[in-house]
Amino acid sequence: MNAENAVLFHRTETTAILTLNRPARLNALTLEMLQHIDQILEEVETNNEISVLVLRSASQRFFCAGADVNEWGAIDPEKMGSRFIRAGNRVMRRIAELDKPTIAVLNGSALGGGLELALSCDLRYALSSIQIGFPEAAVGAIPGWMGCQRLANLVGPARAREMILLGTSIPAATALDWGVVNGVSETLEQLDEQVRDVCALLGKRSGVSMSVAKRLLRLIEPSGTEAAHEFAASVCKATPDAEEGVAAFREKRAAIFR
């Protein structure tokens, strides 16, 4: 399935709807899908007729199961950071920094990168039957798309550590109690109605006011700059280029980078 079929996009009046449509792989995100989402966000940003962006899934089983392990598992460490993580962070950051309000409709479970995608949105509404979590520790990975910071901003460091270190999922009711989601519905019909009502309400609000408010809220969020530099230095140190650079320095010769 190509990215255009795996990520659908349409408009209903002033609401833009991005639908993940890769049910056979639980909507697992590939580089191609991330690039297509990035293109859709360009349309949302520049189209003045669009006032709200909604992200949802064509499947009720999963909103998104995260990044496609088959794809990122085959990437070498350097390209993992420079390609896969960078591409995902670009999309998540673009959603988070969008001047228009964004809503994640969790009509299926959201795990790993799927939860990170939902956390990049302003609001989240869920079915009562879904689960959310960061299972990356079970496969030797971490939430690489700023999920640790975004989750900690919502639930505090103690609960964020619990979810990330244990890698266990929590039900929608707990997510509501912790503030991860803004509302929970028992049926898909009730969920859709709630999201329609929220979209209608947002459509009556000042676009300028919401844009400025979103920028102000970003300004007061804790900065992850120091940690990002630490992680970036660690990634560089793990590459063959770093090994060659150190060896060349010790041997007092010009480095030959591959």
Give the C-alpha distances (Å, rounded to integers) separating 54 from 50, 58, 107, 196.
Answer: 11, 13, 12, 10
101 and 44 housed in the same domain: yes
Tokens 């191609």 correspond to what residue? 32
Just list the catalytic residues.
Answer: 116, 136
Cα 250-256-258 angle, rounded to 5 deg: 125
143 and 235 housed in the same domain: no
243 and 186 housed in the same domain: no
66 and 143 housed in the same domain: yes
Residue 191 neighbours by CB distance under 10 Å:
22
148 within a domain of the structure (yes/no): yes
149 and 219 housed in the same domain: no
199 and 224 housed in the same domain: no
236 and 119 housed in the same domain: no
pLDDT of residue 228: 58
Tell me which residue range forms the domain holding 173. Answer: 3-205
- Select from 187, 205, 223 the last residue of a domain: 205
Gyration radius of the chain's alpha carbons: 19
Q: Residue 160 is part of a domain; what is its CATH number?
A: 3.90.226.10
226 and 143 housed in the same domain: no
pLDDT of residue 77: 72
pLDDT of residue 150: 92
* 248 vs 241: CA distance, rounded Å: 10
258 within a domain of the structure (yes/no): no
| Domain count across the chain | 2
Q: Which two tokens stand for residue 44?
A: 């949302």
96 and 156 housed in the same domain: yes
256 within a domain of the structure (yes/no): no
> Mind listing the pLDDT tens digit for each residue in 78-95?
777 767 788 889 999 999
257 within a domain of the structure (yes/no): no
22 within a domain of the structure (yes/no): yes
Q: What is the pLDDT along the chain (258 residues), one digit of tens a residue?
A: 676 789 999 998 899 999 999 999 999 999 999 999 999 999 999 999 999 999 999 988 999 998 887 777 667 777 777 677 888 899 999 999 898 999 999 999 999 999 999 999 999 999 999 999 998 888 788 888 889 989 999 999 999 999 999 999 999 999 999 999 999 999 999 999 999 999 999 988 888 888 888 888 877 776 545 445 455 656 777 788 878 877 887 788 888 987
Going by C-beta distance under 8 Å and a sequence separation of 6 or more, which residues neighbour residue 53? 15, 16, 17, 18, 41, 44, 95, 98, 100, 101, 102, 103
- Select from 168, 186, 205 the last residue of a domain: 205
139 and 15 housed in the same domain: yes
136 within a domain of the structure (yes/no): yes
53 and 128 housed in the same domain: yes
149 within a domain of the structure (yes/no): yes
255 within a domain of the structure (yes/no): no
8 and 67 housed in the same domain: yes
